[in-house]
């Protein structure tokens, strides 16, 4: 029946295109690199609008085959954009009318390359290295097998502490002082009684956990505590001492931090590089406690105490000048204290406070493998 001269017509709902699924394509870099992007949309929680989630894999690039979490992602109309902050990369593309391909551009460290992603089925998808399940939270793993050797004078490649694939754990080119700092989450001024060689002789440690699954950060540091006791015969005790420290607090303008899209129980990720103008660190899925511990290694050896009150995990980038001196170059990074305030809305305030101190009672060079 017509009302007021208008004829009623059925309303046809328009279904928004979905980008959920597995996408893959070839990036024309270094002879060709296979890229896989897995996109999903977690179920809504309460009144919060569920966000898209993406994990980027480069099967032909070192350390990226295990997947890097997108730190931001938007899909509006037919346009997809996501960024992978931990490797300073971003993608922008447009979904085809049939929803089977995305044509776009991959940009990393200001270099851009065309990248077309094709929707693929599970049977046709390129094989990923394997996304291991997390280790049970109550597990207390140790190294099932561990190789320890002095770092070679000509060693090249990644330095620092590494987790993955799976239950594989390693560190490269780290002196024992640094290993103790990492294992116990302390600053250098919180370690006393160590002989000189502890700070001058670097080692490589490589092995696997004796419990299936991917360890979290606490489980990983616990593994290093155990290997230090077993192979370096480390004996220590803890004391409380009042030391000069830094309190990590929020500025009056508030924090400038993006909530992480990652697993709140997952392992935090941090990568960095330096040049003549400064140091750039990219943090993914980190808590403020994680960040405080990391700042201890970047500063002057004083402990850093988290007093932000911020909970959860965050993704952000911090660029600063280690020299803490001004530069006439307009592209030079500011000093650490200024950079934290301007870029993160956080600050380090000098304080005197009781902190945990590790006293080395006994330590030896590592036993043979």
For the chain, give the mean pLDDT.
85
* Total residue count of the chain as it appears in this document: 369
Coil, helix or strand at residue 354? strand
Using pLDDT thresholds of 50, 70 and 90, give the confidence band for residue 62.
Answer: low
Give the pLDDT mean for 299-308: 90
d(CA 274, CA 318): 12
CB-facing half-sphere around the CA of 346: CA atoms within 13 A? 24
Q: In the prediction, which pLDDT does 127 show?
A: 84
Give the pLDDT mean for 208-233: 92
Q: Does residue 48 carry a pLDDT above 70?
A: no
Using pLDDT thresholds of 50, 70 and 90, give the confidence band for residue 159.
Answer: confident
Q: In the prediction, which pLDDT does 86 show?
A: 81
Q: In the prediction, which pLDDT does 313 show?
A: 93
Q: In the prediction, which pLDDT does 45 show?
A: 47
d(CA 171, CA 230): 17
Give the tens place of pLDDT for each residue, 124-155: 888 876 555 778 888 999 999 899 999 988 77
Give the tens place of pLDDT for each residue, 188-197: 999 999 999 9
Q: In the prediction, which pLDDT does 6 show?
A: 36
How much of the chain, in percent, has pLDDT values that exceed 70? 86
Give the tens place of pLDDT for each residue, 16-25: 568 999 999 9
Give the tens place of pLDDT for each residue, 312-331: 999 999 998 876 555 556 66
Using pLDDT thresholds of 50, 70 and 90, give the confidence band for residue 59.
Answer: confident
Tokens of 241: 């001492």
Give the pLDDT mean for 268-281: 77
Give the global pTM.
0.67
Q: Does residue 44 carry a pLDDT above 80?
A: no
The pairing of strands 346-362 and 191-192 is parallel
113-150: b (≥16 Cβ within 10 Å) or e: eebbbebbeeeeeeeeeeebeebeeebebbbeebebee
Q: Does residue 43 carry a pLDDT above 70?
A: no
Q: In the prediction, which pLDDT does 262 show?
A: 75
Using pLDDT thresholds of 50, 70 and 90, give the confidence band for residue 42.
Answer: low
Domains parsed from the chain with CATH numbers: 21-120 (2.40.128), 143-235 (no CATH), 242-356 (no CATH)
Contact call for residues 52 and 62 (beta carbons, < 8 A): no
Contact call for residues 34 and 9 (beta carbons, < 8 A): no
Which residues are CB-contacts of 348 (< 8 A; sequence separation ≥ 6)? 246, 247, 248, 249, 295, 299, 304, 336, 337, 340
Using pLDDT thresholds of 50, 70 and 90, give the confidence band for residue 7.
Answer: very low
Return the ∠ at Cα 210 (arms to 205 and 212), rounded to 5°.
Answer: 115
Backbone angles phi, psi at 236, to 5 degrees: -145, 165
Could you tell me where the beta strands, DSSP code E, fall in 44-142? 53-58, 68-69, 72-76, 79-84, 89-95, 101-108, 111-120
- Angstrom CA distances, 125 to 26, 114, 129, stand at 13, 21, 12
d(CA 146, CA 272): 27
Give the pLDDT mean for 156-183: 86
Tokens of 286: 């980190």
Q: In the prediction, which pLDDT does 25 show?
A: 95
Q: Out of 6-10, 56-60, 351-355, give the one with best mean pLDDT.
A: 351-355
Which residues are CB-contacts of 18 (< 8 A; sequence separation ≥ 6)? 99
Q: In the prediction, which pLDDT does 271 show?
A: 79
Which residues are CB-contacts of 166 (< 8 A; sequence separation ≥ 6)? 130, 132, 208, 213, 214
Tokens of 48: 């919060």
Using pLDDT thresholds of 50, 70 and 90, give the confidence band for residue 166.
Answer: confident
- Angstrom CA distances, 300 to 19, 108, 170, stand at 47, 32, 26
Coil, helix or strand at residue 353? strand
Q: Does residue 258 carry a pLDDT above 70?
A: yes
Q: In the prediction, which pLDDT does 16 show?
A: 55
Contact call for residues 232 and 365 (beta carbons, < 8 A): yes
- Between residues 276 and 210, which one has the greater pLDDT? 210
């Amino acid at each position: 029946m017509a009302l007021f001269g208008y004829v009623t017509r059925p309303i046809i709902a328009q279904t928004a295109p979905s980008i959920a699924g597995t996408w893959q394509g070839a990036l024309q870099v270094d002879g060709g690199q296979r890229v896989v992007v897995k996109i999903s949309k977690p179920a809504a929680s309460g009144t919060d609008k569920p966000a898209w989630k993406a994990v980027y894999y480069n099967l032909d690039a070192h350390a990226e085959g295990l997947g890097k979490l997108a730190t931001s992602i938007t899909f509006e109309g037919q346009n997809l954009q996501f960024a992978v902050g931990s490797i300073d990369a971003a993608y922008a593309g447009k979904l085809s009318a049939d929803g089977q391909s995305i044509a776009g551009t991959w940009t990393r460290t200001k270099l851009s390359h065309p990248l077309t992603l094709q929707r693929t089925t599970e049977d046709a998808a390129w094989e990923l290295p394997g996304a291991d399940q997390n280790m049970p939270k109550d597990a207390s793993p140790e190294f099932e097998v561990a190789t320890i050797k002095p770092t070679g004078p000509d060693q090249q490649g990644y330095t620092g502490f590494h987790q993955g694939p799976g239950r594989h754990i390693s560190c490269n080119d780290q002196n024992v002082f640094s290993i103790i700092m990492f294992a116990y989450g302390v600053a250098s001024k919180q370690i006393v009684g160590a002989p000189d060689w502890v700070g001058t002789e670097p080692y490589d440690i490589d092995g696997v956990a004796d419990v299936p699954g991917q360890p979290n950060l606490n489980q990983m540091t616990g593994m290093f505590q155990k290997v230090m006791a077993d192979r370096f015969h480390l004996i220590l005790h803890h004391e409380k001492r009042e030391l000069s420290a830094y309190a990590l607090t929020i500025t009056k303008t508030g924090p400038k931090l993006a909530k992480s899209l990652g697993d709140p129980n997952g392992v935090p990720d941090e990568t960095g590089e330096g040049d003549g103008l400064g140091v750039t660190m990219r943090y993914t899925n980190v808590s403020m406690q994680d960040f405080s511990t990391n700042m201890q290694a970047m500063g002057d050896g004083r402990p850093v105490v988290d007093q932000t009150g911020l909970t959860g995990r965050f993704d952000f980038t911090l660029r600063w000048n280690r020299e803490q001196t001004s530069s006439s170059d307009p592209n030079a990074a500011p000093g650490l204290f200024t950079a934290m305030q301007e870029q993160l809305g956080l600050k380090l305030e000098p304080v005197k406070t009781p902190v945990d101190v590790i006293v080395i009672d006994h330590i030896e060079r590592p036993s043979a493998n």
